[in-house]
Amino acid sequence: MLNYPSKILLFGEFTILNGSKALAVPWNEYFGKWSEEKIAHQNDEYCYQSLLEFSIAHPLESIDGKRLLADVKKGIWFDSSIPHGQGVGSSGALIAAIYERYGNYKNKSLIEIKKDLGQLESYFHGSSSGFDPLVSFLKKTLLIHSPEEIEVLESTPRLPVSFLINTKRERKAAPLIEIYKRKILDPSFKKGVAENLVFAVNSAVETLLAQDFEKFFHHTWLISRFQWDDFKEMIPEEVQGVWKQGLDQGDFVLKLCGAGGGGHILGFSKNNSFETLSPLITNFELKELKL
């Protein structure tokens, strides 16, 4: 039985809307798979109902909606360990699974597949770029140069010690994206994004691919600083103290993981081991990001 991994957007949140690069990776810590087992838990029932509602409401040409609905009514469901509303691609994995099993994707280009996946995932988010489900569908790391230019990497670049802080707060991406779209109408904010944030994001991606961690940390710190100054409403209040600690002390740096507002916060550490983070970051559930 195929597994569909969760995803982590390492870089490119929001700025991909303004022409930056993005780097998205599959994360096998959480995954989903098709199941015909008897539903035994509340989360299983939630997964089944979500799939049933989608099957009824979303019969697009890109999938065989009739076959999907018939199978769901027979009891098939998507058994997923991916947390909902945490920014790690729960809906993306579901859409990838639906598309691979019921989709009409033969002889389609990568861009066409991404478009199909985005249309399918828009059921959950109002609009979708299609990148999240594409990562789960391909089970590969994506280097996104632009919405129309996607490079599939055969291997994921080695990361420095990396970790996730679980805020344990669910969030929806759509309202946060709308906040960003309103902010970008401000000429001074738009100029700052274009001249500073996009440059830092592109440089962080490039230096990570080059494995130049000294420059990588510099550019990631700049991203963190920009988000602290201009995206404060997207940083959960409970992590703002440790976020500022990272900026001031320099041992680690935090950034949004996806749209922010809750879910997970992504961190990179200059220390040589994950265990050394415990004395630095207290009162939070940390999970090492192993890819």
pLDDT tens string 173-197: 878 888 898 999 999 999 999 999 9
Can you give the pLDDT at residue 1? 67
The answer to whether 273 and 161 are in contact (CB under 8 A) is yes
Highest mean pLDDT pick, 51-65, 108-122, 275-289: 108-122
Q: Degrees (nearest 5) of the Cα angle 180, 269, 240?
A: 45
Q: Is the pLDDT of residue 90 over 80?
A: yes
Residue 89's pLDDT band (cuts 50, 70, 90): confident
- Kind of pairing, strands 264-269 and 141-146? unpaired
48-60: average pLDDT:
85
- Kind of pairing, strands 162-166 and 286-288? antiparallel
- Rounded Cα distance between 213 and 283, Å, is 28
- Torsion over CA: 266, 269, 275, 276 (sign): negative
pTM here is: 0.92
Tens digit of pLDDT for each residue in 267-290?
Answer: 999 988 898 888 888 888 899 998
The answer to whether 150 and 111 are in contact (CB under 8 A) is yes
Of residues 74 and 47, which shows the higher confidence score? 74
Q: Name every residue whose Cβ is closer than 8 Å to that of residue 53 and which is 6 or more positions away in sequence.
A: none
Can you give the pLDDT at residue 63? 94
Domains of the chain in start order, with CATH, are 4-153 (3.30.230.10), 162-288 (3.30.70.890)
Of residues 10 and 125, which shows the higher confidence score? 10
